[in-house]
Amino acid sequence: MPELPEVETVKRSLEPHLIREKITGMDIYYGGIIKEPELPLFRSLIQDKEIKSLGRRGKYLLLNLSEDLTLVVHLRMTGRLTVTDPAQPVDKHTHLIFRLSGGKELRFTDVRKFGLVYLVPTGCWNSIGGLFTLGPEPLEEEFTLAYLQEKVQHKKTKLKNFLLDQRQIAGIGNIYADEILFEAGLHPERSVETLTAEEVERLYYAIRSRLQAGVEHRGTSFRDYVDGTGAKGGFQNELKAYGREGEPCERCGTQLVRSVVAGRGTVFCPCCQV
């Protein structure tokens, strides 16, 4: 699933192609991906709207349109949002095509059909539960060490569960949770409440450093993820834990192991991460 660095990369790569473009029409091949409003109203409302700006909140991509409307997109597991030449053949997994005034098309493809699309008044996220309840952005000033110190107090949940909880911190998924915990030297099954002040500080800086590195390398491409122009990211070449089970730890040489934590495959060093 695309996480914060991937969605941020999609946003940045789409911006030069979409800003000030008008949506002149659309084709809907699978309407089930549109959750709000109903299809006839969706089609009517989005017609001739200008794309004013792009934003991101957690794993949600926000296309801010004229007349105070926002197209909210969640890529989920296998979604792709790419700008394409109309002459390009339509992939069989393409569900939405937005035709743009400059002659290009914005296509939403999704092999597993888990993606979500909403058209709502800008800032009115109440009906989008996952967006409405998001915690702070971990790369913004609102995410402070003091905030994290407060959030970990008296929490009995496991560290991996805590990092994946979007209500606590927005945008972290399975890949970056493994990377963060490896960087911080913390075991994914540690109870959050057992962290010392020094360990909380290590966790804080690991969150920021690994997510920032993910953004700088334009995301992690293993299977489905590409940016808004169809280009792959490069962070898969920088991974220290995720997907490396059986390989030696880069710090101590111990073989990295895999277990299931928070219902997700989790890779860690049984020696370095305590």
Burial of 41 (0-12, 13-18, 19+ CB in 10 A): exposed
Is 59 assigned a catalytic role?
Answer: yes
Please give the torsion angle defined by the CA atoms of residues 215, 221, 227 and 230, in that order, rounded to the nearest 10 degrees.
Answer: 150
- Residue 1 above 80 pLDDT? no
Q: Is 74 annotated as a binding residue?
A: no
Residue with tokens 């098309």: 105
- Residue 189 above 90 pLDDT? yes
Percent of the chain beyond pLDDT 70? 100
Q: Which residues contact 141 (CB under 8 A, 6 or more apart)?
A: none
Choosing from 11, 56, 57, 59, the catalytic residue is 59
Is 2 assigned a catalytic role?
Answer: yes
Inter-residue contact 137 to 58 (CB < 8 Å): yes
Inter-residue contact 264 to 163 (CB < 8 Å): no
- Residue 223 above 90 pLDDT? no
Mean pLDDT of 31-39: 96
Could you give the CA distance from residue 206 to residue 200 in angstroms, rounded to a whole number? 10
Q: Is 93 annotated as a binding residue?
A: yes
Say what the pLDDT of residue 222 is: 86
Choosing from 43, 99, 113, 264, the catalytic residue is 264
Say what the pLDDT of residue 224 is: 86
The domains of the chain, with CATH numbers, are 4-133 (3.20.190.10), 145-268 (1.10.8.50)
Is 3 assigned a catalytic role?
Answer: yes
The set of long-range contacts for 166-170, using a CB threshold of 8 Å and a minimum separation of 24, is 166/58, 166/59, 166/130, 166/133, 166/134, 166/135, 167/133, 167/134, 167/135, 168/135, 169/135, 169/136, 169/138, 169/143, 169/207, 170/4, 170/57, 170/58, 170/59, 170/134, 170/135, 170/136, 170/137, 170/138
In terms of pTM, does the model score above 0.75? yes
Could you give the CA distance from residue 265 to residue 274 in angstroms, rounded to a whole number? 18
pLDDT tens-digit map of 43-59: 999 999 999 999 999 99
Q: Is 17 annotated as a binding residue?
A: no
Is 150 assigned a catalytic role?
Answer: no
Q: How sure is the predictor about 162, in pLDDT bands with cuts at 50, 70 and 90?
A: very high
Choosing from 2, 136, 138, 188, the catalytic residue is 2
